Amino acid sequence: MRVMHISLMMAVLFLSAATGLHAERVKDMASVGGVRSNQLIGYGLVVGLDGDGDQTTQVAFTVQALKNMLTQLGIRVPDSERLQPENVAAVMVTADLPAFSKVGQRFDVTVSSITNSDNLRGGTLLMTPLKGGDGQVYAVAQGSLVLSGFDEGGKDGSRVTVNVPNAGRIPNGATVERVVPNGFALGNSIRLNLHEADFTTAERLSDVINDTLGAGVAKHLDDGTVQVHAPADVSQRVAFMSLLENLEFRPGSASARVVVNSRTGTVVIGSNVRVMPAAITHGNLTVTISENPEISQPGPFSQGQTVLNQQSNVTVTEENKPMFLFSPGTSLEDIVKAVNDVGAAPSDVVAILEALKRAGALRAEFIVI
């Protein structure tokens, strides 16, 4: 068997030609409209950094924030006093407030340095209000940071950095102070929003709901939304959703796509990708130039001088790669085998697929990210 020369990770994603043979749960394919997390953000201070804090001579607002905090705690710092703390860093605190969170519940937060502090290890976040997009405070965060990286250096300038030491997390570091309203219990219906919009999937989802709960209970509004009549009572609606999200149905097959990540060299080919009749040849032209120095000696008694001459040799080598033929309706397996047989390098794989697309022979959406 020919050794595969493709050094990139050839992520061949079988979106399954037999997708229709596998049933999926509703909860894995759709989300309930109005039930979502909410992004929160806040500005705070991390203290206790053992000299790794912000360089306050360059960052004025860290000192300003520290003075404001001390003032709120009853400590007045004279305006003439120039604070130069070495253990304090200004940070941004971000989090996702889970849906249905109640006052007093806790959730994780992420803390990231926003100035020139490059190591938050050992730091403690002081009480930080977290606001939503409407400017209201929905939670308060505080606690000791947990970091997965470190940054250490020696006096000679050597330095070792692992992962990201200027960002960390606080498990259960925020407490909910305000409930975010949602529309789950409003109206006489709920909406199921498909993660991947598809007309076939939407129709099959509404069909399985009607077959299980009765005709007319569900109807698809578009390729990504199915509306379902639901009980008005909240407790009954929760039981109804438990039944609904565990129903199984067969979603529609995925669209034919080829996705190329130009940064990592990853190629993902869907199983529905087909190739129309096409012939491809692939060969590499190698040009080798070598320099052979030659020393020319003068004849005896000729009064000449020794001369160094450069002799250049140029050779051209072209790989003898046979042309291979794609028959009508060639499948994913045939495409991968042909590309492997030709011994294509990572950049060549992308070039071959792009050339097929430009020639109109690749029946798939070609996406480069």
User: What residue ranges do the domains of the chain occupy?
Assistant: 1-17+253-369, 19-35+183-249, 38-176
92: closest CA among 107, 111, 118, 109? Answer: 111
174: closest CA among 112, 114, 94? Answer: 94
- CATH level 2 (architecture), domain 19-35+183-249: 2-Layer Sandwich (3.30)
Q: What is the C-alpha separation between 251 and 257, in angstroms, rounded?
A: 17
66-69-72 Cα angle (round to 5): 150
Q: Is 163 left (phi over 0), alpha (psi -120 to 50) or beta?
A: left
pLDDT in tens, the chain (369 residues): 333 333 333 333 333 333 444 788 998 999 998 888 999 999 999 998 887 777 766 777 788 888 888 888 888 877 777 777 788 889 999 999 998 899 999 999 999 999 888 888 889 999 999 999 899 999 999 999 998 755 565 555 555 555 678 889 999 999 999 998 887 878 888 899 999 888 999 999 999 999 998 898 999 899 899 999 988 888 888 889 999 999 999 888 878 888 887 777 777 777 777 777 766 665 654 445 455 667 777 766 666 677 666 555 555 455 555 555 556 656 656 666 666 666 666 667 777 777 777 877 777 888 887
Token readout for 344 is 């294509």
The answer, as to whether pTM is greater than 0.75, is: no
Classified as helix, coil or strand, 72 is: helix
Distance of CA 277 to the CA centre of its chain: 36
| Helical pair 199-213 and 234-245, crossing angle rounded to 10 deg | 120
314: closest CA among 292, 332, 294, 330? Answer: 292
Q: Which residues contact 299 (CB under 8 A, 6 or more apart)?
A: none
Beta-carbon-side half-sphere exposure of residue 359 (alpha carbons within 13 Å) = 15
SS3 content of the chain, % helix, strand, coil (to 5): 20, 35, 45
Q: What is the C-alpha separation between 141 and 160, in angstroms, rounded?
A: 31
Q: Which residues contact 108 (CB under 8 A, 6 or more apart)?
A: 95, 169, 170, 171, 172, 173, 174
Q: Which residues contact 61 (CB under 8 A, 6 or more apart)?
A: 90
